[in-house]
Structure 1
Amino acid sequence: MTSPPRILDEIGAKLSELAASSPAKDIEKNVKAVLGSAFSRLDLVTREEFDVQREMLAHARHKLIELEERVAALEAELLRARTGESED
């Protein structure tokens, strides 16, 4: 008599074998192929490319804020200098 764990292993192996050759597996392969083909024709970016662009945009936003603050400070300084000259 075969021991219970071995029987379970054999049953599991047979089920895996059946699942691998089932029509559902073929359908899954075909759907993946169709989707892969459709996605390859679209102008999509990878997650890595997206993350790089997001980081670059965040850096550009930060730099823009710094430059806006600097321009505002220079404009205020210029205005003070002009009003100081006109009072003299």
Structure 2
Amino acid sequence: MINPAKIEEIAKQISSNMPQGVKNLADTFEAKTKQAIQNKLAEMDFVSREEFDIQSKVLIRTREKLAELEAKVAQLEAKMTNSDSADE
């Protein structure tokens, strides 16, 4: 089994021994790649995690309110049925 700490150590050694120009090129490439990905994601119709969490909470509250209203309607229907039976 390969030890992940050993792989990390080897990667650090390789990185520290790279010429500065290669390091700069890698950093520039990484920054530009991240920017390109962020731009493309921004163009897509995604919601942020924060907005998703907010809407999830709103949905939960709405479901709870709906359950309360359904219970009240059932109680009212039961009262109406009982009063109709009493009238007969």
User: What TM-score do the two structures reach when normalised by structure 2?
Assistant: 0.71
Q: Distance in 2 between matches of 1:63 and 1:80?
A: 26
Matched, 1:56 2:55: no
Unmatched segments (≥5 aa) in structure 2: 1-15
Corresponding residue SS for 2:47? coil
Which structure has more relative contact order (CA 8 Å, sep 6+)? It is 2
Offset of 1:20 from its aligned partner? 4.6
Runs of 4+ in 1 over 6 A off after TM superposition: none
Match of 2:46, SS state, is coil
* Residue equivalent to 2:81: 79
CA distance in 2 between partners of 1:37 and 1:27 (Å): 15
Matched with 1:30 is 32
Structure possessing the higher radius of gyration over alpha carbons: 1
User: Is the deviation greater in 69-78 or in 41-50?
Assistant: 41-50
C-alpha displacement of 1:27: 1.8
Q: CA–CA distance in 2 between the matches of 1:73 and 1:51?
A: 33
1:38-86 superposed Cα distances (whole Å, 9 cap, x missing partner): 0111112111111111111100000000000010011011000001101
Identity rate of aligned residues, in percent?
A: 33
Aligned residues: 72
Partner Cα distance (2:41, 2:65) in 1: 35
